[in-house]
Amino acid sequence: MLNKYARAFFTRVLTPFAAFLIRRGVSPDTVTLLGTAGVMAGALVFFPRGEFFWGTIVITLFVFSDLVDGNMARQLGRSSRWGAFLDSTLDRVADSAIFGGLALWYAGGGDDNTLCAVSIFCLASGQVVSYTKARGESIGLPVAVNGLVERAERLVITLVAAGFAGLHKFGVPGIQYLLPVALWVVAAGSLVTLIQRVVTVRRESAEAEAAREETAS
Protein backbone atom coordinates (compact mmCIF):
# COMPACT_ATOMS: atom_id res chain seq x y z
CA MET A 1 0.00 0.00 0.00
CA LEU A 2 2.82 2.39 0.87
CA ASN A 3 4.62 1.55 -2.37
CA LYS A 4 1.44 2.19 -4.38
CA TYR A 5 0.21 5.45 -2.86
CA ALA A 6 3.00 7.12 -0.86
CA ARG A 7 5.60 6.59 -3.59
CA ALA A 8 3.30 8.15 -6.21
CA PHE A 9 2.63 11.17 -3.97
CA PHE A 10 6.27 11.86 -3.11
CA THR A 11 7.32 11.30 -6.72
CA ARG A 12 5.07 14.19 -7.76
CA VAL A 13 6.34 16.37 -4.91
CA LEU A 14 10.00 15.68 -5.65
CA THR A 15 9.81 16.06 -9.44
CA PRO A 16 10.76 19.78 -9.40
CA PHE A 17 13.76 19.03 -7.17
CA ALA A 18 14.85 16.23 -9.51
CA ALA A 19 14.59 18.63 -12.45
CA PHE A 20 16.70 21.19 -10.55
CA LEU A 21 19.47 18.61 -9.97
CA ILE A 22 19.43 17.71 -13.64
CA ARG A 23 19.90 21.35 -14.59
CA ARG A 24 22.87 21.48 -12.20
CA GLY A 25 24.49 18.55 -13.99
CA VAL A 26 24.02 16.01 -11.19
CA SER A 27 23.64 12.40 -12.34
CA PRO A 28 21.11 9.90 -10.93
CA ASP A 29 23.95 7.57 -9.86
CA THR A 30 25.51 10.39 -7.83
CA VAL A 31 22.21 10.95 -6.01
CA THR A 32 21.96 7.21 -5.31
CA LEU A 33 25.47 7.07 -3.85
CA LEU A 34 25.11 10.24 -1.78
CA GLY A 35 21.71 9.15 -0.48
CA THR A 36 23.07 5.81 0.67
CA ALA A 37 26.08 7.47 2.30
CA GLY A 38 23.77 9.86 4.16
CA VAL A 39 21.54 7.06 5.42
CA MET A 40 24.57 5.09 6.59
CA ALA A 41 26.00 8.11 8.38
CA GLY A 42 22.72 8.83 10.13
CA ALA A 43 22.28 5.20 11.19
CA LEU A 44 25.84 4.33 12.18
CA VAL A 45 26.82 7.65 13.81
CA PHE A 46 23.64 8.48 15.75
CA PHE A 47 21.85 5.20 16.45
CA PRO A 48 24.70 3.40 18.27
CA ARG A 49 24.82 6.37 20.68
CA GLY A 50 21.08 6.27 21.33
CA GLU A 51 20.49 9.53 19.42
CA PHE A 52 17.39 8.19 17.70
CA PHE A 53 15.65 11.50 17.01
CA TRP A 54 18.52 13.18 15.20
CA GLY A 55 19.54 9.95 13.51
CA THR A 56 16.02 9.56 12.13
CA ILE A 57 16.01 13.16 10.90
CA VAL A 58 19.27 12.62 8.99
CA ILE A 59 18.15 9.28 7.57
CA THR A 60 14.78 10.66 6.46
CA LEU A 61 16.42 13.54 4.61
CA PHE A 62 18.55 11.14 2.61
CA VAL A 63 16.14 8.23 2.19
CA PHE A 64 14.09 10.27 -0.31
CA SER A 65 17.04 10.00 -2.71
CA ASP A 66 15.55 6.59 -3.54
CA LEU A 67 12.71 8.45 -5.25
CA VAL A 68 14.76 11.33 -6.63
CA ASP A 69 17.30 9.24 -8.57
CA GLY A 70 14.61 7.22 -10.34
CA ASN A 71 12.69 10.40 -11.14
CA MET A 72 15.83 11.95 -12.62
CA ALA A 73 16.51 8.87 -14.74
CA ARG A 74 12.99 8.95 -16.16
CA GLN A 75 13.22 12.66 -16.95
CA LEU A 76 16.53 12.07 -18.70
CA GLY A 77 15.24 8.98 -20.48
CA ARG A 78 18.17 7.02 -19.10
CA SER A 79 16.46 4.21 -17.20
CA SER A 80 18.89 1.30 -17.41
CA ARG A 81 19.62 -2.10 -15.98
CA TRP A 82 22.74 -0.68 -14.35
CA GLY A 83 20.77 2.06 -12.60
CA ALA A 84 18.19 -0.43 -11.35
CA PHE A 85 20.92 -2.77 -10.13
CA LEU A 86 22.83 -0.01 -8.33
CA ASP A 87 19.70 1.37 -6.71
CA SER A 88 18.50 -2.04 -5.51
CA THR A 89 21.94 -3.02 -4.21
CA LEU A 90 22.47 0.20 -2.27
CA ASP A 91 18.95 -0.06 -0.82
CA ARG A 92 20.10 -3.27 0.86
CA VAL A 93 23.21 -1.52 2.16
CA ALA A 94 21.14 1.32 3.62
CA ASP A 95 18.68 -1.06 5.29
CA SER A 96 21.57 -3.01 6.82
CA ALA A 97 23.04 0.19 8.24
CA ILE A 98 19.74 1.15 9.90
CA PHE A 99 19.15 -2.16 11.64
CA GLY A 100 22.88 -2.60 12.25
CA GLY A 101 22.97 0.77 14.04
CA LEU A 102 20.06 -0.30 16.24
CA ALA A 103 21.77 -3.62 16.98
CA LEU A 104 24.93 -1.78 18.02
CA TRP A 105 22.92 0.38 20.42
CA TYR A 106 21.27 -2.59 22.10
CA ALA A 107 24.57 -4.47 22.21
CA GLY A 108 26.20 -1.45 23.92
CA GLY A 109 24.52 1.43 25.71
CA GLY A 110 21.03 -0.01 25.27
CA ASP A 111 22.15 -3.14 27.13
CA ASP A 112 19.47 -5.48 25.80
CA ASN A 113 20.70 -8.65 24.10
CA THR A 114 17.18 -9.72 23.16
CA LEU A 115 16.47 -6.52 21.23
CA CYS A 116 19.95 -6.72 19.73
CA ALA A 117 19.00 -10.16 18.40
CA VAL A 118 15.63 -8.86 17.14
CA SER A 119 17.40 -6.02 15.30
CA ILE A 120 19.77 -8.49 13.67
CA PHE A 121 16.81 -10.67 12.70
CA CYS A 122 15.12 -7.64 11.10
CA LEU A 123 18.33 -6.95 9.17
CA ALA A 124 18.74 -10.53 7.96
CA SER A 125 15.07 -11.22 7.21
CA GLY A 126 14.80 -8.03 5.19
CA GLN A 127 17.67 -9.18 2.99
CA VAL A 128 16.19 -12.66 2.58
CA VAL A 129 12.73 -11.29 1.74
CA SER A 130 14.28 -9.26 -1.07
CA TYR A 131 16.36 -12.22 -2.21
CA THR A 132 13.39 -14.58 -2.47
CA LYS A 133 11.66 -12.30 -4.95
CA ALA A 134 14.82 -11.63 -6.95
CA ARG A 135 15.74 -15.31 -7.04
CA GLY A 136 12.22 -16.39 -7.98
CA GLU A 137 12.12 -13.89 -10.83
CA SER A 138 15.59 -14.99 -11.99
CA ILE A 139 14.29 -18.54 -12.57
CA GLY A 140 11.36 -17.25 -14.60
CA LEU A 141 8.59 -17.06 -12.00
CA PRO A 142 6.43 -13.94 -11.52
CA VAL A 143 6.43 -14.15 -7.68
CA ALA A 144 3.01 -12.48 -7.77
CA VAL A 145 2.77 -11.52 -4.12
CA ASN A 146 3.80 -8.38 -2.26
CA GLY A 147 3.61 -9.66 1.28
CA LEU A 148 2.62 -8.16 4.61
CA VAL A 149 5.74 -6.08 5.35
CA GLU A 150 7.92 -4.96 2.44
CA ARG A 151 10.81 -2.51 2.44
CA ALA A 152 8.67 0.62 2.60
CA GLU A 153 6.70 -0.70 5.57
CA ARG A 154 9.87 -1.86 7.36
CA LEU A 155 11.46 1.57 7.01
CA VAL A 156 8.38 3.61 7.92
CA ILE A 157 7.54 1.55 11.01
CA THR A 158 11.13 1.50 12.25
CA LEU A 159 12.03 5.12 11.54
CA VAL A 160 8.79 6.59 12.87
CA ALA A 161 9.18 4.58 16.07
CA ALA A 162 12.87 5.49 16.38
CA GLY A 163 12.15 9.18 15.83
CA PHE A 164 9.46 9.26 18.49
CA ALA A 165 11.54 7.13 20.86
CA GLY A 166 14.29 9.73 20.56
CA LEU A 167 11.95 12.30 22.12
CA HIS A 168 12.56 10.54 25.44
CA LYS A 169 15.79 12.54 25.69
CA PHE A 170 13.70 15.71 25.41
CA GLY A 171 11.67 14.74 28.46
CA VAL A 172 8.75 12.83 26.92
CA PRO A 173 8.10 9.96 29.36
CA GLY A 174 7.53 6.35 28.31
CA ILE A 175 7.85 6.99 24.59
CA GLN A 176 11.13 5.06 24.34
CA TYR A 177 9.16 1.81 24.40
CA LEU A 178 7.80 2.48 20.91
CA LEU A 179 11.03 1.32 19.29
CA PRO A 180 11.17 -2.14 20.87
CA VAL A 181 7.51 -2.69 19.96
CA ALA A 182 8.21 -1.59 16.38
CA LEU A 183 11.18 -3.94 16.07
CA TRP A 184 9.09 -6.90 17.20
CA VAL A 185 6.35 -5.91 14.73
CA VAL A 186 8.84 -5.62 11.86
CA ALA A 187 10.46 -8.94 12.79
CA ALA A 188 7.11 -10.75 12.88
CA GLY A 189 5.89 -9.05 9.69
CA SER A 190 9.11 -9.88 7.86
CA LEU A 191 8.79 -13.54 8.86
CA VAL A 192 5.20 -13.65 7.59
CA THR A 193 6.27 -11.97 4.33
CA LEU A 194 9.10 -14.45 3.87
CA ILE A 195 6.71 -17.36 4.32
CA GLN A 196 4.24 -15.78 1.88
CA ARG A 197 6.91 -15.47 -0.79
CA VAL A 198 8.31 -18.96 -0.29
CA VAL A 199 4.80 -20.45 -0.51
CA THR A 200 4.10 -18.38 -3.64
CA VAL A 201 7.32 -19.50 -5.34
CA ARG A 202 6.57 -23.13 -4.48
CA ARG A 203 3.04 -22.84 -5.93
CA GLU A 204 4.17 -21.01 -9.07
CA SER A 205 6.99 -23.51 -9.57
CA ALA A 206 4.58 -26.44 -9.33
CA GLU A 207 2.18 -24.75 -11.76
CA ALA A 208 5.02 -24.08 -14.22
CA GLU A 209 6.17 -27.70 -14.05
CA ALA A 210 2.63 -28.98 -14.54
CA ALA A 211 2.12 -26.68 -17.54
CA ARG A 212 5.39 -27.87 -19.08
CA GLU A 213 4.49 -31.54 -18.61
CA GLU A 214 1.06 -30.93 -20.13
CA THR A 215 2.64 -29.21 -23.12
CA ALA A 216 5.16 -32.02 -23.55
CA SER A 217 2.41 -34.62 -23.50
Catalytic residues: 91
Query: Between the CA of residue 63 and those of 34, 35, 49, 205, what are the distances in Å?
Result: 10, 6, 21, 35
Task: Give the start-end residues of each E strand in 55-178.
Answer: none
- Whether 34 and 65 have beta carbons less than 8 Å apart is answered as yes
